[in-house]
Each structure stands twice: as structure tokens, then as C-alpha cells.
Structure 1
């Protein structure tokens, strides 16, 4: 139960930060990509600040033998670049550039009452389910070959 409450509190802090920084507003994000027009560098500042906080935070947290509400840290072990990683990254970037939303900004934006974050989140869930179905079908096909 503490893990769930902890995750909810962390999500609330993250979502609040996203909203305060204006990153739940797709126009602000799209203006970052419009380098020759209405360029807005604030996304760069938000991302840079997040990297600094994460770098410092991980330095403190990973000195502990384990997290407070789990038995071990769950850190990525895979370090190679493969097709799913590259393709997924490209799709993420293309979608972000088209819609102005990423999952971190779209979830808090659901509270705005606007239809665009709802459409984005529904499409994101559909994409996740579709990718999982394709991966399962590909894995089954390889097992039969």
C-alpha cells in the first residue's frame, strides 16, 4: 500500500511541475520546435533542470542499499541500441512534434477539460496495445519458424 501511495505522491508532484512549467500546453511545446518562428526555449530549461535534479537525486538515492518501499532498485540493465528502441524513440519524437504532447504532459492536461489530451491519451493507449499485439504476434511467428 505504501508503494502505491508513494507512486501516487510522486506522480502528483511530477504532474504539478509539468503544469506549472507550462508543459501540459501543447502550443508551448510546439513553439519549442518552431526554431525559425515563435521559438520558445523554456522546454530546454525545464528538461535541463530535470536532468540536474535527477543526476543529483540518483547520486543520493543509489547510495542506499534498497528503496524505502521495495526490496531492490529496478534499474535498466540493457545497454545496447536495437531496432525497437530506435523505432520507438523516433515514433515518440514524431508524435510529440505533431501533437505537442508527451505522456508526461498529456496526463495532467486531462484535467483541463479540453478534448485534445483525451484524444492523445486514447491514441497512446491504442498504440501501446497495438505494439504489444504486434510484438506478441511476431514472437509467436518466430517460435513457429
Structure 2
């Protein structure tokens, strides 16, 4: 399972990467918002773990940009612990919000819970290049135009 970890703190990022790898996740780690967006556009991930206070682009903006193009679980992992911060993070599109300091066991449990929900719901649209299959309506589109099927 591929995970994108977006954390600017060197020691915490390394601990998270090592711990998640030990749990069986394949982890790519970036340290700023722009790198996160670039990775998301280049690679396919099943989960994003996202700090809010990042250089170059904050995690809230990153979350909103991811939501414009991708339907993948996002867990905010941040030191911002006020109710307003949590509401803002969840409103930006995060599926869960965990404050630092945190328990690694709880993080793993929340990751598994979020992934269970996503697998249960499944994607609504499958895209391959310019081809798009809308699963609920069983419609096929190519370059934005509907293809009539029988």
C-alpha cells in the first residue's frame, strides 16, 4: 500500500517513515507542500498523511488541491490542536485529523479505519488516460464526451 507522508520535521518524518514501513506500507516522504502536489500528480497513492504547517504551501491548501483531482484518504497529522483548526482541516477535505503529540498505535488504527471506509465505498470513477468509466451510472466518457454503449 503506497502512502505519501508530508512532514517537514526531519526527525518526526524519519520516525513515521520507518514505523509505517515496518507496518508494511510503502512510504514516499516529502517535506513541503509543492513537493506533495507534484508527487500526487506523478504517482498513485492509497493514503496521504499531511501536516498543516509546511513550507512553500500549507497543508490546508495541499488538501484542497488534492481534492480537486483525487479521491484518496487524507489524514491530517498536526500540532494545530484548536477546535477551529480541526474544523478547518476537516472542511478542507481531510478524512481524519490527529493532533501532535500522538500515539503511533492510534495513528495505525486510524489509518486502517479510514482505509476500510474507502475500500467499502470504492471509487465512483475509474480513469485511464482520457477514458473515464462512471461506475454508478455505468457511463463511459472519452476526452469528456459520452460514448454510447449498448
Q: Which has the higher strand share?
A: 2
TM range (shorter): under 0.3
Q: Which has the higher helix share?
A: 1
TM-score by length of 2: 0.26
TM-score by length of 1: 0.27
